[in-house]
Amino acid sequence: MPQERPGFWKGQSTSIRLLVELPFWLLIPDSEIPVAHRLATVQAKVRGHYMAVSDGPLFNTSRSDAVFIGPSSDLKAGEDLPPVVSATRAPIYRPMKTTVIFQPEAMEDAILAMQEQGPITEDELPKVRRLNRSNHYLQSLAYAHIPFLNDLIASYRMTSQDPFAFQVSQWDVPIWFAEYNGQFVPICLMPYSDSCWYPVLRKFEQKETLPFHAATPEDVQEQAKEDVAPGTLEILDARSLLYRGHLDDAVRSAVTAIEVALEAQITKLLVYKGWNEQRIESRLAETWNDFDRRLNDYERISETRVPGPVLSCVPYINGIRLKAELNRVRKLRHKIVHEGLRVDSHSKGPMLRAIETMTWLFSWLSWEEGKLQDRARNYVFFEMSRGMHIPRYRIGYRDSGVAVLLYGDENKQEEEYEDPFKLQYFATIDGEKPDIELFTLMSLAYLGIEADDAPPPLPDPTANERYLISHAERNSIVFCLNCDRLIDAAAIEAVVLRFRECKKDYEGDCSSLCIINHQKDLAMELRETDKAIPADVAEIADRNGITLITAPDLRLLVQGTNEYQWDIEPIKKLLFAPGRQGEVPPGYRMIGTCVHFYGQISVMSVELHSGETIETGNILGIRLGTRWHEEPIESLQVDHKTVPVATGPCRAGIKTTLQRSDIDVGQPVFVRLA
């Protein structure tokens, strides 16, 4: 089918031959078989007597030196050889196993870019860019045909019962060829397979290359002396299977690793507590068919909770809860094992997330988090060797065939960057799925306060602590409360009772911080501000040494540290001060209220309180619905006369960049202290 052509490519689409050699034979006559996947049906030519000829004298495992792929009959001795073979100085002949050929439409310019490539220096950026995009395009085109290949193989297996044939991935068929006008272009789906020599690295600003070593002989020798922790080999298998594209087996192995490690760790903890073998077996028997209950049992025994939400600047990682991820992956395993689900090769992203999160969970569960961080030093190398960006372009399966969906004009400049971490932060209390725990964790991270998970929640709690924090030798137990309406006295009394119980475990000073996401289903600008925490609730908190701060107040404080560089230290102190805090930023002074706004000239009339003085150059501060607004006072009037200073009681006209819709009559007005 015609391919979509962005401004980067020239020319039109054309028909090519796309060839791949299987690692086994399909024991059927040469034939052409229609194969369907989703909406598309393509013709697969099956050939069992093909020969590959390489330009020697060495045989290159990456096949980059292939000059001919075709029927063995074209290479009979004594007959005229194809010109590309006869022109080869030292041809190397290699019989091939079954070769499958597809004939898709492809961008002619992308094929020509690969065929015409020659030596390119690093400073020839346009040529490098063109070559890279051509390579990404052809990789995506080849990758798009793996499902057809597997459907063909599956049909063959079911009719032949051949045990040597199997479902393939980019690991099994890493080298493809695009043939156009009799010239072959190799397409490598996995860089690891494209490397013929021992891997080397070159450090920045150095010409010398060094061999890459993932481990030292000493490390291997020491590891050989140690016992392998239960589940370790299974979690390693899961990652290896993921890299080889065997996604179903990877999920099975990852879940097995967690189950094995969980039972082993419970046993280890109970032995440490002095339990005998019979008691331990009895305890495990209670949960042998209830995994969730067993995991909860482990949390209670170990007095730790499964990590989450995970904090990360990467959008699809930030906020992950490993317990929820485990439930999702276990359900997927159930569908694979009991319902025969076959995971599509295009599910590599979700499968990577599944195996990554299970690896993190296993590391936490097996108490090997330090080792995981140590092993992560090789992560980038192995990811690049796997081919982490395939398919680079989106793939479409349509009635008319396979399409590589390019992204319009690839030369246009990217849109202005917006911090994804900031957008995620806003969404934690003002999005479709508010998450007060993640909001609290992100707020503390912005303020430079480390938070540790509190112990697992009680079975039937009235209130549960969520985080433990410390700052300047002061400790605080953090509660996160979601409220449909405003918080009431009963809710804060429950916090007081739990705080008193927890406080016994601390020898020194210990306070409590309670972050309240009130009216959680309303947009932030629609929530109550002044009366968000009723007076009786604030009084109970103050009397019992508990800090109360609403989630909107805390978010605005954090925004101010980013947008206006407010001093963070005074804001940190607020989190350890009893009573309601955060309504007004530290360093702000209330000077009066807005009594009128003149929209045509963007001037607000402010009733200055008695004794309050303002002058031009002061930084004006006003709380808006979703942020604090600051601007210097550039024009000041009293009785319609421009003045440099105004002292209350009086009405002062202040020129502003705000609009009438931004500010309400009666709204407090502040100035920022120097």
> DSSP string of 173-236?
S-EEEEEETTEEEEEES-HHHH--S--EEE-TT---EEE--SS-HHHHHHHHHSPPPTTHHHHH
Residue 66 within a domain = yes
Query: Which helix (H) or strand (E) is 672 found in, with range?
Result: strand 668-672
pLDDT at 520: 92
Tell me how far apart the alpha carbons of residues 47 and 27 are, in angstroms, rounded to a whole number: 10
Are residue 602 and residue 567 in the same domain, yes or no? no
Are residue 40 and residue 144 in the same domain, yes or no? yes
Q: Of 521, 546, 580, which closes a domain?
A: 580
Q: Of 130, 165, 200, which closes a domain?
A: 200
Check if the beta carbon of residue 60 is closer than 8 Å to that of residue 193: no
Are residue 465 and residue 316 in the same domain, yes or no? no
Are residue 482 and residue 621 in the same domain, yes or no? no
Please report the DSSP string for 198-209 in residue order: --EEE-TT---E
Please report the DSSP string for 362-396 in residue order: HHHHTT-HHHHHHHGGGHHHHHHHHTTT-S-SEEE
Cα dihedral across residues 114, 120, 122, 127: positive or negative: negative
Are residue 486 and residue 467 in the same domain, yes or no? yes
Q: Across-strand partners of 202? A: 209
Q: What is the mean pLDDT of each successive set of 10 residues along the chain, which is 674 residues long?
A: 51 89 97 93 96 86 85 81 84 94 90 72 70 87 93 96 94 93 89 84 74 90 90 94 90 96 95 94 94 94 90 82 94 92 78 91 81 69 77 81 65 46 85 89 94 85 87 91 93 94 82 95 91 95 96 95 92 94 93 92 93 93 92 92 92 92 91 83
Query: Which DSSP state fits 311?
Result: P
pLDDT at 6: 44
Residue 4 within a domain = no
Q: Across-strand partners of 70? A: 51
φ/ψ region of 376 (left if φ > 0, alpha if ψ in -120 to 50, else beta) reads: alpha
For residue 558, what are its two tokens?
């954090």
What total number of domains does the chain contain? Answer: 4
Q: How many CA atoms lie within 13 A of 526 on its CB side?
A: 8
pLDDT at 368: 67
Indicate the burial class of 204 (C-beta count within 10 angstroms; 0-12, 13-18, 19 or more): exposed
Are residue 268 and residue 330 in the same domain, yes or no? yes
Check if the beta carbon of residue 1 is closer than 8 Å to that of residue 91: no
Residue 408 within a domain = no
Residue 365 within a domain = yes
Look up the CATH number of the domain holding residue 646. Answer: 2.40.30.10
Residue 400 within a domain = no
Are residue 243 and residue 311 in the same domain, yes or no? yes
Are residue 518 and residue 656 in the same domain, yes or no? no
Using the structure block, give the residue that is written with the tokens 């070559």: 131
Look up the CATH number of the domain holding residue 489. Answer: 3.40.91
Query: Which DSSP state fits 399?
Result: T
Are residue 640 and residue 513 in the same domain, yes or no? no
Are residue 487 and residue 630 in the same domain, yes or no? no
pTM for the whole structure: 0.81
Residue 335 within a domain = yes
- In this structure, how many other beta carbons lie within 10 angstroms of the beta carbon of residue 403? 22
For residue 315, what are its two tokens?
């959008």
Are residue 352 and residue 457 in the same domain, yes or no? no
Residue 346 belongs to domain spanning: 222-389
pLDDT at 419: 64
Residue 217 within a domain = no
Are residue 318 and residue 382 in the same domain, yes or no? yes
Residue 404 within a domain = no
pLDDT at 86: 82
Q: Of 373, 389, 405, which closes a domain?
A: 389
Among the listed residues 645, 563, 623, 662, the one whose alpha carbon sits nearest the alpha carbon of residue 654? 645
Q: Across-strand partners of 40? A: 37
